């Protein structure tokens, strides 16, 4: 039999081990949970992009908002546009940068520049691909082009992310991506490209197209888009899909391609935080038009024919 002294030691050691196991388990559990930001929005860690701030959020701020969030930083003298900036030491794309935030009229933040060290260019490029997906234009490492004409662009969350050279220095430059609206569609005030999918051959059934999610907001400092639009462009021109009025607009919208109603065709799905809930709107291309075929709080299941039946009943 165990002596009482040894038995007590075993009990104490076992208790400590159990306590450590419980502590580690709770820590891992809470680290895996979604994080609640200061404005009450729940965001998954995978969607935070490891940025100090989402650029779109920064471009919805004025100078005083930025200093309230990050502190005074190192400021330019404000004598002209080149000197209207605030510098912060920040971590972006898995590297440390002297991040420069430019502000303009009404002190509105409109651009963020990150100077990239020569030895970090490739690593930053690869990290940007991981974070932002496939670029819509990519010639940064095209040796046939002059250095100043070599650049790569991404568009995500209303922001154009560019990795390029400026006077021999590599930069990541971020700014809002305004839509030029070449076909003169009615797209509200200051339309911006929230997201784009290029060279898609699924929605048009073989013909290559570009699909753009466009949003407009009434005030620069708003994060809520008053209206959302889908622009489907091809060599034949462009058409616009408009959301139903009662579910139009929203925050942090996203676009994806999927077969919404089991028709075998690929459709366009829009997701947005609309007031107090998420809302999903689906578009089908048919007879030269983009028609709404889905509008619900729940995300549709890929290829679910029940979506088609419910839509027909609602009509």
Across all residues in the chain, what is the average pLDDT?
85
Round to whole Å and give the CA distance between 275 and 232. 26
Burial annotation 274-291 (CB, 10 A radius, 16+ → b, else e)? beeeebbbbbbbeeeebe
Burial annotation 132-144 (CB, 10 A radius, 16+ → b, else e)? beebbebebeeee
- What pLDDT sits at residue 264? 86
- What pLDDT sits at residue 14? 64
- What pLDDT sits at residue 208? 79
pLDDT tens for each residue of 178-226: 999 999 999 998 899 999 998 887 888 777 789 999 999 988 898 999 9
Query: Taking the mean position of all CA atoms in its chain, how far away is CA 111?
Result: 16
Round to whole Å and give the CA distance between 311 and 309. 5
Does 63 score more than 80 pLDDT? Answer: yes
pLDDT tens for each residue of 225-257: 999 999 999 888 899 999 999 999 999 999 999
Average pLDDT over residues 17-24: 56
- What pLDDT sits at residue 38? 35
Does 44 score more than 60 pLDDT? Answer: no
Round to whole Å and give the CA distance between 312 and 314. 5
Does 267 score more than 60 pLDDT? Answer: yes
- Dihedral angle of Cα 61, 86, 214, 233, to the nearest 10 degrees: 170
- What pLDDT sits at residue 244? 94
- What pLDDT sits at residue 36? 37
Q: Is the dihedral of CA 198, 203, 208, 212 positive or negative?
A: negative
Average pLDDT over residues 148-172: 95
Round to whole Å and give the CA distance between 179 and 242. 16
Tokens (6 digits) for 269: 């799905």
- For residue 191, the 8-state DSSP code is -
pLDDT tens for each residue of 90-114: 999 999 999 999 999 999 999 999 9
Kindly list the strands in the beta sheet with 151-156, ordered across the sheet, starting from the edge strand earlier in the chain.
Answer: 74-75, 85-92, 95-103, 109-116, 169-176, 159-166, 151-156, 137-138
- Which residues, 6+ apart, have CB-to-CB distance to 54 below 8 Å? 157
Q: State the burial class of residue 198 (Cβ atoms within 10 Å of its Cβ: 0-12, 13-18, 19+).
A: middle
Q: Could you tell me the pLDDT band of residue 10, with boundaries at 50, 70 and 90?
A: low
- What pLDDT sits at residue 203? 85
- Dihedral angle of Cα 202, 207, 213, 216, to the nearest 10 degrees: -150
Q: Which of 9-18, 75-84, 172-181, 272-281 has the lowest mean pLDDT?
A: 9-18
Identify the three-state secondary structure at position 146. Answer: coil
If residue 193 lies in a helix (H) or strand (E), which one and from where to where?
strand 192-200
Round to whole Å and give the CA distance between 293 and 315. 10
């Amino acid at each position: 039999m165990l002596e009482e002294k040894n038995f007590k030691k075993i009990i104490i050691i076992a208790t400590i081990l159990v306590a450590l196991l419980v502590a580690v388990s709770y820590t891992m559990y809470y680290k895996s949970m979604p994080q609640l930001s200061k404005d009450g929005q729940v965001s998954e860690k995978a969607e935070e992009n490891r940025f100090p701030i989402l650029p779109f959020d920064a471009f919805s701020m004025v100078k005083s908002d930025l200093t309230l969030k990050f502190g005074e930083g190192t400021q330019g003298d404000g004598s002209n546009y080149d000197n209207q900036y605030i510098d912060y030491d920040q971590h972006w794309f898995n590297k440390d940068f002297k991040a420069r935030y430019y502000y303009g009229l009404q002190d509105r933040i409109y651009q963020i520049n990150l100077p990239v060290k020569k030895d970090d260019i490739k690593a930053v490029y690869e990290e940007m691909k991981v974070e932002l997906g496939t670029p819509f234009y990519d010639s940064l490492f095209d040796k046939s082009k002059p250095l100043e004409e070599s650049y790569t662009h991404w568009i995500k969350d209303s922001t154009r992310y560019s990795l390029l050279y400026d006077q021999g220095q590599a930069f990541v430059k971020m700014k809002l991506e305004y839509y030029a609206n070449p076909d003169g569609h009615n797209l509200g005030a200051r339309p911006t490209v929230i997201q784009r999918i290029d060279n898609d051959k699924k929605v048009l059934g073989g013909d290559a197209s570009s699909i753009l999610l466009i949003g407009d907001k009434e005030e620069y400092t708003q994060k809520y888009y008053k209206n959302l639009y889908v622009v489907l462009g091809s060599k034949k021109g462009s058409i616009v899909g408009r959301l139903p009025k009662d579910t139009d607009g929203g925050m942090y919208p996203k676009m994806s391609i999927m077969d919404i109603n089991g028709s075998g065709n690929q459709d366009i799905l829009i997701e947005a935080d609309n007031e107090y809930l998420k809302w999903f709107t689906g578009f089908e291309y048919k007879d030269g038009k983009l028609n709404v075929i889905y509008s619900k709080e729940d995300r549709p299941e890929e290829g679910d024919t029940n979506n088609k039946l419910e839509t027909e009943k609602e009509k």
